[in-house]
Amino acid sequence: MADKKSSIKKKPYGKLVIFGAVVITLYAVLLMHQGLVNDYFVRGGLYAFLPIAAAFLISYVHGHFTGYFWTMLGIEAKKKEVK
Amino acid sequence: MHEVANFINLDTANIVYLFLVGFVGGLVSGFIGSGGAFVLTPAMMSLGVPGLVAVASNMCHKFPKALIGALKRAKYGQVDVKLGIVLGISAEAGVLYGAHIQENIKKAFGEAGSNLYVSVAFVVILAVVGGLVLKDALKTYRSGNTSEEEKVTKLARWVQSINIPGTMVYFKSLNAKISVLFTIPLGFATGMLAATIAVGGFIGVPSMIYVMGAPSLMASATELVIAFVMGLGGSFKYALHGLVDIRLSLIILAGSLFGIQLGAIGTTYVKPFVIKLVMGVIMVIVLFSRGLMVPVYLSQLGLIQTLSENTVNLLKNTSFIIMALALILGASIVLGAMWKGRREEKLLQTEGAIEHGKI
């Protein structure tokens, strides 16, 4: 019973909501300002850092979100490491 | 420096389509280290995205996806970062050289010549390497010893036995020192394949397993490091020319990050031969997909009699469907194996609880 309680407590509801909100905001900005985004992101030269930075930013935020998402659904790695 | 690219209008159907293709591609990549990307370029082109923009946008989603997959699998102790970086650097050189060869072929023989080169590379490499990987996986399955630790091949034992002073490096995935002079051509070939067919892992993973002696799980996880190194360099190169449509990259990334996490989790539930099985099955099916396109390009080059427009369309559509099926079949094996593994784990937990008198 105690184990069950602690495993329920571990579920990262708060983090899922926070990262989820940030992900939705970022994607909303991207889709609502497609013209502006594409205008800057394809200028080449030093602007080449923009798509790279955006990819890193989304991988950080959305990577956390998707990780918490599967944890919330109870889909986690097998406890014993497989080699 | 900057080239103007025509970017497509994205509607809801396109976004959902890219998200789903990204998810399936991510699932397979998380599991076998690569292999999910080859369908994305044609998938984007089917929406009207120009070829070069599709390649660039695919690459720009690949490196952050590989990063997340590598971090996830590193948590399970499956990643050899040093081997990934060493191979990744030579793979980067291979990508540049592969792209250079592609450009020269295109200049000399035109678009059809370039496509023929890509298709023949697909068919030859996937037949040889895919056949080997699938044969090995089936041999393990039929032997009934699927739980046994993987044996290091004779070739890998020989590679590990060669001592070239000043070039020896210890890699934890091999639990041995090997000369970096062996890693350079293998990494280079991985990069060249990535530049040609968008999936370097079809050379990278089997090289690590059969030539260097790494276990399948570590080889497929380490491939994600190579994909990250290669993808980052390649994306920057394309971004310098303004060819990355970041909307496409990020939408595919949205789906593929869900998939790659799931694929990485899946590796902890399966026996090592399943990695080889998924990789081999995908490689062999894709080989038929690309093989169908060879007559189309031969016809365009005037090397065989001209095919009718209907025949060309039929071959193109069938080829794309087979390619998509390969990915879906691979994803189904991953999900099936994961579901079975989870069910077995739950049964074991229940039995354990009964034995300890908790139930």
Contact B205, B91 (CB under 8 A): no
Report the candidate in B302, B257, B330 with the shortest Cα–Cα distance to residue B116: B302
């691979």: which residue's tokens?
A: B330
What pLDDT does residue B1 have? 44
pLDDT tens by residue, B107-135 = 898 888 888 888 888 889 889 999 999 99
- pLDDT for B4 beyond 60: no
What pLDDT does residue B359 have? 58
Contact B7, A37 (CB under 8 A): no
Interface ipTM = 0.89
Across the interface, whether the CB atoms of B246 and A37 are under 8 A apart is answered yes
Percentage of chain B modeled with pLDDT above 70 = 97
Instruction: Place B8 in a pLDDT band, splitting at 50, 70 and 90.
Output: confident
What pLDDT does residue A9 have? 56
pTM: 0.90
The mean of the pLDDT values for chain B is 89
pLDDT tens by residue, B18-64 = 999 999 999 999 999 887 777 788 888 888 888 788 888 999 999 99
Using a 10 angstrom Cβ sphere, with 0-12 exposed, 13-18 middle and 19 or more buried, the burial of residue B144 is: exposed
What pLDDT does residue A25 have? 98
**Residues of chain A neighbouring B10 (CB-CB closer than 8 A):** 31, 34
d(CA B232, CA B224): 12
**Residues of chain A neighbouring B345 (CB-CB closer than 8 A):** 78-79
Using a 10 angstrom Cβ sphere, with 0-12 exposed, 13-18 middle and 19 or more buried, the burial of residue B167 is: middle
Which residues partner with B170 through β-bridges?
B177
DSSP assignment letter at B163: -
Q: How far is B213 from chain A (nearest CA, A)?
A: 14
pLDDT tens by residue, B163-207 = 999 999 999 999 999 999 999 999 999 999 888 877 888 899 999
Is some CB atom of chain B closer than 8 A to the CB atom of A72?
no
Report the candidate in B31, B40, B35, B34 with the shortest Cα–Cα distance to residue B255: B40
User: A23 Cβ partners below 8 Å, 6+ apart?
Assistant: A58, A61, A62, A65, B254
- pLDDT for B154 beyond 70: yes
Cα dist from B68 to A53, A63, B194, whole Å: 15, 6, 19
Which residues partner with B168 through β-bridges?
B179
Instruction: Place A73 in a pLDDT band, splitting at 50, 70 and 90.
Output: very high
What pLDDT does residue B5 have? 55
- Across A1-30, b (16+ Cβ under 10 Å) vs e yields eeeeeeeeeeeeeeebeebbebbeebbeeb
Across the interface, whether the CB atoms of A44 and B1 are under 8 A apart is answered yes
Q: Which H helix or E strand runs over A2?
A: helix A2-10
Report the candidate in B14, B36, B3, B11 with the shortest Cα–Cα distance to residue B258: B36
Query: Which of A23, A52, A70 lies nearest to residue B235, judging by beta carbons?
Result: A52
- pLDDT for B208 beyond 90: yes
Locate the chain B residue with the closest alpha carbon to A69. B258
Q: How far is A42 from chain B (nearest CA, A)?
A: 4
**Residues of chain B neighbouring A42 (CB-CB closer than 8 A):** 2, 4-5, 7, 242-245
The phi-psi region of residue B48 (left if phi > 0; otherwise alpha if psi is between -120 and 50; otherwise beta) is left
pLDDT tens by residue, A9-33 = 578 899 999 999 999 999 999 999 9
d(CA B182, CA A16): 44
What pLDDT does residue B350 have? 84
Locate the chain B residue with the closest alpha carbon to A40. B242
Across the interface, whether the CB atoms of A44 and B2 are under 8 A apart is answered yes
Query: Which of B2, B15, B235 lies nearest to residue A51, judging by beta carbons?
Result: B235
Alpha carbons within 13 angstroms on the beta-carbon side of residue B252 total 32
Percentage of chain B modeled with pLDDT above 90 = 57
d(CA A59, CA A53): 10
Across the interface, whether the CB atoms of B267 and A82 are under 8 A apart is answered yes
What pLDDT does residue A81 have? 47
Q: Which residue has the higher pLDDT, B102 or B155?
A: B155
Cα dist from B27 to B35, B45, B221, B260, B307, whole Å: 10, 21, 13, 5, 37
- pLDDT for B308 beyond 60: yes
Report the candidate in B139, B162, B167, B160 with the shortest Cα–Cα distance to residue B280: B139
